[in-house]
Chain A
């Protein structure tokens, strides 16, 4: 494939979700680029939407790369360090940042010199990409120079974390990867002193599917099917972010009607997720009646999803460049008829929970995320909003899509950053989501599609959406109507690195299920 200059302005089409925003691209030497991006992030002026490698000639042949990776690990027998492969391939870093005050999205490309086997670490300045750079290092052998915690992350079968706390009375408790219930697979290493948790390290990537590479060469329509399956409980958010990125890359854009449906599906997704999280918190605190009743409400919402769209998890609802195949006359009537009863029951149990001292006392002050961490790690979603940070793409970037319904970013009133604040943020969001759905229902029905765009154009796009867990970002590069490169940033990828810190923040072992439930992290989203 001939080399495409991705920085050229022609590679980027303005689309509806980014209406009113300026999009720009810049290529610098990698040192300058990392320094600039770090400065913007540390000062709080910009927000990072995506960070990784840009498509380059090292990404073209996946089979070759995998074979090389196997050879490297096999030949050295060294599980701690992927072999250096500074082999003259050209490599570029990519950071997509957004500046809310300027309403500008900036694609920063940082060129590594040929043969350069390392790049300056962004994680040395901005902790939100600590895990990301470990992954980039392990995948390519390119070293983030100055990274404060460079360890393998992607192969738990070969390398698990080592205990940190040592000395008399310390105890090391491994938990997982198989755990109670139907939790996803994750391994947790607790260093405890008596009941007190001194340190906790999560290890994921048990469910790594390498979705980004699987999609290479696929049509965006097929890749959308993979996007829907990145994390089942954020199907709509990932599908929406992917479609927005793809529509920009293909130059076809979307329409008001299409976006309105996506907003609706996104809120339907939030409703069942939040109820699930309430139920899990009730379970973690031994409130069995609330757990069962809220789980029942979740099942009712899933069935409602299926009746309206054909899929319990709303798969197939978001389509590329066209409206959903949904009969809105029947669907809207059903939603309008059934949602109020579910809402009444959910609110009743939330009210009871909030007035039950044994529930409230267990949540406060459990699993506190300090505001400084929330900012420093770039946390998103209810975890960030529970610390009082108004981080929500619905009001940050996409506010014009919510013009007809209004949307208020719900931060916690007390902003304590603990499990109770996270619970209360979700309680407030339950009301907001329901309100948006109710206001949208009468407006739906007009089906719409957009011109498919030029199938042979080469272009790039960025799409964002607010999943129930926070901001999801997709970056897509297309050429000749096929996916060339795809980058996925799930909401949980921002929140996982602070989870260990919050767990060890003055809590005891029995607090863990509560912290776990209040974070409501997705494993599959990070593993992807």
Chain B
């Protein structure tokens, strides 16, 4: 029996990768995966398409330092992808991998200017 297991194990060869040196680029191929990030500033807060489309109010248009900003709270996000699909400006995008970890609740909230640590 044990010989069979040994052979069965060896027969498959190696199928894993050497993370993080070699990362699987699987996710970007698919439509839905992790929570989105904001990868560029929004040029037209008036449209508010993202805030209207978001089913869980994870996206809101807020006032920050005296001007409008798009606020994304990924703790409330259910990764439906509507913001990625609907924003005419391409502000929202899917990250390449699911490896985001934050140490505090506040860090899960990003506004348009504070997006540099994402992705």
| Given A222-B55, A229-B78, A296-B15, A306 contacting B30 (CB threshold 8 A) | yes
CB distance from A472 to the nearest CB of B (A): 19
Q: With A and B bound together, what is the CA distance between A309 and B30 in angstroms?
A: 8
Total B residues in contact with A, Cβ cutoff 8 Å: 20
Which residues of chain B in 6-20 are interfacial with respect to chain A, using CB atoms and an 8 Å cutoff?
Answer: 6, 8-9, 12, 15
Kindly state whether residue A348 has any CB partner on chain B within 8 Å.
Answer: yes
| Given A222-B55, A289-B8, A293-B12, A312 contacting B30 (CB threshold 8 A) | yes
The answer to whether B26 touches A352, judged by C-beta atoms less than 8 angstroms apart, is: no
Compute the total of residue contacts between A and B using a CB distance below 8 Å: 53
Q: Mark B1-40, 1 if CB is under 8 A from A, else 0.
A: 1001110110010010000000000100111110000000
Q: With A and B bound together, what is the CA distance between A303 and B6 in angstroms?
A: 27
The answer to whether A289 touches B9, judged by C-beta atoms less than 8 angstroms apart, is: yes
Q: With A and B bound together, what is the CA distance between A476 and B8 in angstroms?
A: 49
Q: With A and B bound together, what is the CA distance between A207 and B4 in angstroms?
A: 42
Q: With A and B bound together, what is the CA distance between A309 and B81 in angstroms?
A: 14
Q: With A and B bound together, what is the CA distance between A35 and B26 in angstroms?
A: 55
Q: Mark A314-355, 1 if CB is under 8 A from B, else 0.
A: 011000000000000000000000000000000011001001
| Given A218-B55, A293-B12, A303-B26, A225 contacting B80 (CB threshold 8 A) | yes
Interface residues on A, range: 20 to 34
| Given A229-B78, A303-B26, A310 contacting B32 (CB threshold 8 A) | yes
The answer to whether A225 touches B55, judged by C-beta atoms less than 8 angstroms apart, is: yes
The answer to whether B9 touches A293, judged by C-beta atoms less than 8 angstroms apart, is: yes
* Contact pick for B31, options A214, A296, A311, A357, CB 8 Å: A311
| Given A218-B55, A311-B31, A296 contacting B1 (CB threshold 8 A) | no
User: In this complex, what residue of B is CB-closest to A358?
Assistant: B1
Q: With A and B bound together, what is the CA distance between A336 and B26 in angstroms?
A: 21
Q: Mark A287-317, 1 if CB is under 8 A from B, else 0.
A: 1011011001000000100110111100110
The answer to whether B30 touches A311, judged by C-beta atoms less than 8 angstroms apart, is: yes
User: In this complex, what residue of B is CB-closest to A218?
Assistant: B55
Please indicate the chain B residues that have their CB under 8 angstroms from the CB of A214 in the complex: 56
The answer to whether A316 touches B32, judged by C-beta atoms less than 8 angstroms apart, is: yes
Kindly state whether residue A226 has any CB partner on chain B within 8 Å.
Answer: yes
Kindly state whether residue A356 has any CB partner on chain B within 8 Å.
Answer: yes
* Contact pick for A312, options B6, B8, B9, B33, CB 8 Å: B33
User: In this complex, what residue of B is CB-closest to A317?
Assistant: B32
Please indicate the chain A residues that have their CB under 8 angstroms from the CB of B5 in the complex: 287, 289-290, 352, 356
- Given A225-B80, A316-B31, 8 new contacts (CB under 8 A): A226-B55, A289-B5, A307-B30, A310-B30, A311-B30, A352-B1, A352-B8, A356-B1
10 A-B pairs (CB sep. < 8 Å): A214-B56, A226-B55, A309-B31, A311-B32, A312-B30, A316-B32, A316-B80, A316-B81, A352-B4, A356-B5
> Which residues of A are at the interface with B, using a C-beta cutoff of 8 A?
214, 218, 222, 225-226, 229, 287, 289-290, 292-293, 296, 303, 306-307, 309-312, 315-316, 348-349, 352, 355-357
